[in-house]
Amino acid sequence: MNAVERIQELKAKRKAIILAHNYQPPEVQDIADYVGDSLGLSQTAASTDAEVIVFCGVDFMAESAKILSPEKKVILPDSDAMCPMSAMCTDLELAPVKERYPEAAIVAYVNTSAAVKALADVCCTSANAVRVVGKVSQERIIFVPDKNLGAYVQRFHPEKDIMLWPGHCPTHHDISVQNIMDLKRQHPRAKLMVHPECTPEVIDLADNVSSTEGMIGYAKASEAEELIVGTEVDMTHRLRKEVPGKTFIPVPGAICPNMKRTTLSSLIKALEDLSPEILLPPETIEAARKPLQRMMEIGRGD
Ligand code: 13P
Ligand code: SF4
């Protein structure tokens, strides 16, 4: 029996669903029941009737699944798969800022720990951040942790005073204007899609700015035959499957090492042992669920 057959066998035995983010290695994407962006993954985790959710992604994604489906067993195959941007804002750092600005709303990007979400008024993903901020009644907003996404949202809401937390995604922040200009020179007819975690200077060069799932819709609708993909390299695997016939050009070196921690072997072990399991204090789940659910009610914006 090969690894794929073993995973299928264990998945049926455990009544499990396998969810994978668009940045997962190709062979993990190919074995998953659902592949998508943070919002789509949260929606699927909230609605599945599987008993076990095996989350091929990083810590904050699996935690969000647990918060939205607390009665289910949520497994993150490698417990070291952590998002460094999420770690750039802790609840201990955020609590005094919240106290200093009682008039402000806290908008937490879903790339945050459960403890940070528990302090927030509403969560957002890259697919709905602009829409979520538009629904917030307060003029002043503390946006955590991604300063690039926060600055992008500010472009659409000049009426808001958005305080930016000094966090960033190393994978996206390191995509330089030079990288993009080189690719544009090599592929002069290509359209450029970028993720809003990129720097403002890179965003200024883009034809489309969207979540990873939003890129699929743009690539399908666009007349362009070639598209530069300004996000993590394995997004091109999903794009090539969903939009056959077009050419997708990755940015060399745009790799999220934490997303690569899941392997077919770690997936087999996770299904065999039902471990490592995501466990959160009930009071954290309770407090974090409200801002996450508010976000889910607002839905997709791109
Ligand atoms: P998406 O929700 O757009 O897939 O982004 C998640 C993420 O971690 C981007 O770095
Ligand atoms: Fe976190 Fe960036 Fe990796 Fe996304 S790509 S999981 S934001 S480190």
What is the percent of the chain where pLDDT is above 90? 98
State in Å: Cα 72 to ligand 2 middle. Answer: 25
Q: Is 111's C-beta closer than 6 angstroms to any atom of ligand 1?
A: yes
Provide the mean pLDDT of the chain. 97
Read off the tokens for 293.
């659910």
Give the mean pLDDT of 80-94: 98
Could you tell me which residues are beta bridge partners of residue 141? 105, 162
Task: Evaluate if residue 1 carries a pLDDT over 90.
Answer: no
d(CA 46, CA 115): 19
64 Cβ inside 6 Å of ligand 1: no
Residue with CA nearest ligand 2 atom 5: 256
Instruction: Say what the pLDDT of residue 108 is.
Output: 98
In this predicted structure, what is the pLDDT of residue 204? 98
Where does CATH 3.40.50.10800 sit in the chain? Answer: 3-81+259-279, 86-168+285-298, 171-255
Summarize pLDDT for 39-60 with one digit per residue, the tens. 999 999 999 999 999 999 999 9
At 65 the pLDDT is: 96
Beta bridge partner(s), residue 192: 228
Q: Looking at the DSSP assignment, which residues form a beta bridge with residue 191?
A: 227
The ligand placed nearest to the CA atom of residue 145 is 2
Round to whole Å and give the CA distance between 63 and 55: 9
d(CA 114, CA 292): 10
Please give the average per-residue pLDDT across 127-142, as a whole number: 97
pLDDT band of 72, cuts 50, 70, 90: very high
pLDDT exceeding 70 applies to what percent of the chain? 100
Residues 267-286 have a mean pLDDT of 97
What is the pLDDT at residue 290?
Answer: 97
Separation between Cα atoms, residue 171 and residue 144, nearest integer Å:
17
C-beta of residue 161 within 8 angstroms of C-beta of residue 141: yes
Rounded to 5 degrees, what are φ and ψ at 275? Answer: -160, 155
Domain 171-255, second-level architecture: 3-Layer(aba) Sandwich (3.40)
- Ligand 1 atom nearest 111 alpha carbon: 8
Residue 191 DSSP label? E
* Longest Cα separation, the chain: 60
Element (H, E) at 124: strand 122-124
State if residue 173 touches ligand 2 by the CB under 6 angstroms criterion.
Answer: no
Distance from chain centroid for Cα 104: 25
pLDDT of residue 37: 94
Instruction: Characterize the bridge pairing of strands 226-230 and 208-209.
Output: unpaired
CB of 258 closer than 6 A to ligand 2? yes
The pLDDT, as a whole number, for residue 300 is 81
The CATH class of the 86-168+285-298 domain is: alpha beta
On whether the pTM is more than 0.85, the answer is: yes
User: How far apart (Å, rounded) are the C-alpha atoms in residues 46 and 68?
Assistant: 5
Section 119-147 average pLDDT: 97
- pLDDT value for 301: 81
Does the pLDDT of residue 132 top 90, yes or no?
yes
Instruction: Decide: 24 and 56 in contact? Cβ < 8 Å.
Output: yes
- For 228, the token pair is 């530069």
Ligand 1 centroid – CA 23 distance (Å): 8
Query: Does the C-beta of 38 come closer than 6 Å to ligand 1?
Result: yes
CB 24 within 8 A of CB 57: yes
**Taking Cα atoms as reference points, which of 37, 81, 7, 18 lies closest to residue 242?**
37
pLDDT for res 299:
87
Separation of CA 279 from chain center: 20
Q: In terms of CATH, what superfamily is 3-81+259-279?
A: NadA-like (3.40.50.10800)
Separation of alpha carbons 184 and 166, rounded Å: 30
Report CA(37)–ligand 1 centroid distance (Å).
6
List for the chain the helix, strand, coil content (%; round to 5).
45, 15, 35
Is there an atom of ligand 1 within 6 Å of 211 CB? yes
Q: Is the dihedral of CA 135, 136, 142, 144 positive or negative?
A: negative
